[in-house]
């Protein structure tokens, strides 16, 4: 499963990081992956925390494909 970030949609609310350590923030508060500057990352189907973060993003700045 692949998680994608859409930084233009991010409002820097901080919700995704409260759900999963997979997510962090740039200096301006916009979402990024903790260990990478890439906009996509493969994750395990069993990463429930990341799935919850994607599901609960209020602006849909996180997507799964």
Is pTM beyond 0.85? Reply is: yes
Confirm if 39 and 63 have CB atoms less than 8 A apart. no
Q: How confident is the model at residue 10 (pLDDT cuts 50, 70, 90)?
A: very high
Domains and CATH numbers, the chain: 2-64 (3.30.70.20)
Nearest to 36, CA basis, from 23, 45, 54: 23
User: Which pLDDT value is given to residue 18?
Assistant: 96
- Largest Cα–Cα distance in the chain? 30
Query: Each residue of 12-44: pLDDT tens digit?
Result: 999 999 999 999 999 999 999 999 999 999 999
Q: Which secondary structure element, helix H or strand E, spans residue 32, and what is its range? A: strand 31-33
């Amino acid at each position: 499963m692949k998680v994608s970030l859409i930084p233009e949609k991010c409002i820097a609310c901080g919700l995704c990081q409260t759900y999963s350590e997979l997510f962090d923030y740039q200096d301006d508060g916009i979402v990024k992956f903790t260990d990478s500057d890439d906009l996509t990352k493969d994750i395990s189907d069993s990463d429930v925390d990341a799935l919850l973060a994607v599901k609960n993003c209020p602006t849909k700045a996180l997507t799964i494909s």
